[in-house]
Structures are given as structure tokens and as C-alpha cells.
Amino acid sequence: MKSPILFYDGYCALCNFFVKLIIRFDPNQRFYFSALQSELGQTIRKQYNIAYNIDSIILYSSGKIYTYHHAAFEILRMLPYPIRAFLIFQYLPNSVNLFIYKLIASKRYKLFGKYEACPLPPANKKQQFLH
């Protein structure tokens, strides 16, 4: 399987914003993307026994699975500066990072909106989006 793959909520406006941000700061196009709702997203959940009630992005990288803030920090490690500077937050206690992540995740539709259907990827980046 290609790697790294970011699995994200395809209906979430905030999640789609972050995918676009990663694309912008990933000049080498090393990331691949797939909606959690896709066939591949469902397969990865089953293969790695990831519960469907986990409200998180999922990062598959080098045969490992990362969720919640761990996924966010792994993504940041792979990106160049200045976006990589947000790794400073990894030094907060794990419980604080998890609390903040889950709080934002639980309110993301209310605060940022939800799409009726997964938006199409930019035409020049389609090769990075997996189904």
C-alpha cells in the first residue's frame, strides 16, 4: 500500500481545509489522501481493527496506524517549516492534546460546517487521492 495515506472525514469542511493545507505545504507530493467513507477507508478500519466510533483522522505510514493528535503530529513531522513549527504543541501533556483534539473533533460540523457530498480533489492533485 502507498504511504503515507491520510484518511479523513470527507464530509467535514475543517478536515477538507486541512487536506488542502497539507497539499500546499507538501511540495514533494508525498502524501496520499482517502476519505474515511471510501472503500479504502473502510478496508483500513477493518484491517487494523479501528472502531467506527473513533472520531479521528487516521494516518497510515510505513505500516503503522496513527490516530487523534498522534496522527496530526506525525503529519507535521513530514512537512517543512513553517507549518512544522506547530510541533511545539507535542510538548503539552498527552492528556491535554487528546482533550483538545477530541473537543474540536466533536464540534467540527457545528463550528466549520459539513458538505452534502465529499468534494472533488483539485484536478492537478487527483493522483494523490485514493478510493
Question: Strand runs (DSSP E) across 1-131, as ranges?
Answer: 5-8, 32-35, 58-61, 64-67
Task: Please tell me the predicted confidence (pLDDT) of residue 100.
Answer: 97
12: left (phi over 0), alpha (psi -120 to 50) or beta: beta
Task: Please tell me the predicted confidence (pLDDT) of residue 9.
Answer: 95
pTM summary value = 0.93
DSSP SS3 for 34 = strand
User: How far is 28 from 34, CA to CA, in rounded Å?
Assistant: 18
Upper half-sphere CA count for residue 5 (Cβ side, 13 Å) = 21
Task: Please tell me the predicted confidence (pLDDT) of residue 109.
Answer: 95
Task: Please tell me the predicted confidence (pLDDT) of residue 29.
Answer: 92
- Name the residue among 46, 87, 104, 113 with its Cα closest to residue 7: 46
Per-residue pLDDT of the chain (131 residues; tens, 9 = 90+): 788 999 999 999 999 999 999 999 998 899 999 999 999 999 999 999 998 888 899 999 999 999 999 999 999 999 999 999 999 999 999 999 999 999 999 999 999 999 988 888 888 889 999 98
